Amino acid sequence: MNDTLDIPADIARAVISPKAYAEDAPVHEAFAWLRANNPLGKATVEGIYPFWIVTRHADILEISRQNELFRSGEMPTTFTTIEGDQIVRKMTGGSPHLLRTLVQMDAPDHAKYRVLTQSWFLPQNIRKLEDRIRQIARAHVDHMASLGGECDFVNDVALTFPLRVILEILGVPPSDEPRMLRLTQELFGAADAELNRSRAETGDAAANLGELQAVVADFFMYFKTITDARKAAPGADLATVIANGKIDGAPINDFEAMSYYVIVATAGHDTTSSSTAGAVWGMCQFPEAFAKVKADPSLIPGLIDEAIRWVTPVKHFMRSATADTEVGGRAIAKGDWLWLAYPSGNRDEAVFEAPAAFRPERSPNRHLAFGYGAHLCLGQHLAKMEMRILFEELMPRLKSLEFAGPATRAEANFVGGPKRLPIRYQMA
């Protein structure tokens, strides 16, 4: 490790560039360089508040674990420019967040809101959904079989499968699925000209944020109808739990209930579809992985974990320090902003042997794609259950699998993964 704190400008640019994630190699090369030379260094980029980039597995865990010392509420939880931050604060009257969801909350509020739905997400509760999820999975596998041996696995299977599951959980009817898919992509793909609302290259922070605000307003309008319906006639779904939730004995307010729907609808969808597509991408790129899982279906849970590690669909979350402290030998000052580089932690050579390889048999697989500490992904059991069921349905029928054209990734430095995955296959 060198002694200088400063990260070279080209390396910092690769870490924050949505395009570098689409190309994949530049960002992983930048992370490998950082882990070897400056694992917790300071990035100074024009137009952006100075920030630390945390690249080692151990340091990411260390920071995530101390959620009082490293908080989520005071600074933007996802990366933005100074101009972007100022625009949001102007729009919100001072808050750096357009939404108020669990990921933007700290103690004491965070626990109060998390507990509302925590038990709903526990394995013993979501197990009840297994039969219904299997029906949805089977329909997707049947659809894939009907496509004549070639498809774009992202658009034909991976996008709609977790979307249908999460929307059922939220009580959204199938007819509104395209609208929800569009809104989620617009929210996360604001920088990707093919996914954002105006379908434009967006270098302009004000235009990007204006678009995002309109997307959020659409989400809110949509979920307001659902909240009103669940208040009038409660059911057994998650939407009912949220709509009728109480905080400190008082009913949850509309803004916070809407924010809750938005986080579940968005967090539960693109992440899972990217990981699902990543499992197929991994088996195309590493045919021996496909052969191993075919030969031994007990490797399916390993396939799932490896796909989530390999893709790491959540590229970062930010934290800010509430006091002067030290991590990884670096003095962090009160107010400092930190980028937790999950894809880097998940390729840390100190934890993973041959980290760039795709190995369903990897065990243990201590990836940190779901984060760690108080904000540890609420939907992790659901995500893994959905993926397990899909591959339990798919693998026995899949006789062969290969790329059928160039696969591409989304341009996204927050949530992203495969965007197109043309495959050729034989199915029973």
How many Cβ atoms from other residues are within 10 Å of residue 221's Cβ? Answer: 10
| Alpha-carbon span 316 to 97, nearest angstrom | 16
In angstroms, rounded to a whole number, what is the distance separating the alpha carbons of residues 121 and 151?
Answer: 33
What is the SS3 assignment for 40? strand
Q: Is 302 in the site for ligand HEM (CB under 6 A)?
A: no
Strand order in the sheet with 422-427: 150-152, 422-427, 398-403
Sign, CA torsion 91/92/98/103? positive
Closest-approach residue to ligand HEM (CB): 379
Residues 315-344 that bind ligand HEM (CB under 6 A): 317
**In the complex, least distance from residue 299 CB atom to ligand HEM, rounded to whole angstroms:** 18
CB of 270 to ligand HEM, least distance (A): 9
Q: Give yes or no for residue 418 binding ligand HEM (CB under 6 A).
A: no
Q: Which is nearer to ligand HEM, 11 or 102 (CB)?
A: 102
**Interacting positions 111-170 with ligand HEM (CB under 6 A):** 114, 166
Give me the residue label for tokens 């080692």: 56
Of positions 141, 190, 242, 369, contacts ligand HEM by CB under 6 A: 369
Q: Which two tokens stand for residue 417?
A: 């993964």
Is 41 near ligand HEM (CB under 6 A)?
Answer: no
With CB under 6 A, what is the number of residues at the site for ligand HEM?
A: 28
370 lies in the site for ligand HEM, by CB under 6 A: yes
Name the segment binding ligand HEM (CB under 6 A); options: 152-160, 206-214, 242-250, 371-379: 371-379
CB of 100 to ligand HEM, least distance (A): 12
Is 271 an interacting residue with respect to ligand HEM (CB under 6 A)?
Answer: yes
Candidates 208, 275, 346, 365; binder of ligand HEM (CB under 6 A) is: 275
Which sign does the torsion angle of CA 148, 154, 158, 164 carry? negative
378 binds ligand HEM (CB under 6 A): yes
Binding of residue 383 to ligand HEM (CB under 6 A): yes
313 scored as a contact of ligand HEM (CB under 6 A): yes
Give the range of 15-23, 262-270, 291-299, 401-409 binding ligand HEM by CB under 6 A.
262-270
Neighbours of 349 (CB within 10 A): 14
Give the strand pairing for 422-427 and 418-420: unpaired
357-387 burial string, b = 16+ CB within 10 Å, else e? ebbbebeebebbbbbbebbebbbbbbbbbbb
Sheet of strand 40-43: strand arrangement? 40-43, 51-54, 337-341, 316-321, 70-71
**Could you list the residues that contact ligand HEM (CB under 6 A)?**
64, 102-103, 114, 166, 263-264, 267-268, 271-272, 275, 308, 313-314, 317, 369-373, 375-379, 382-383
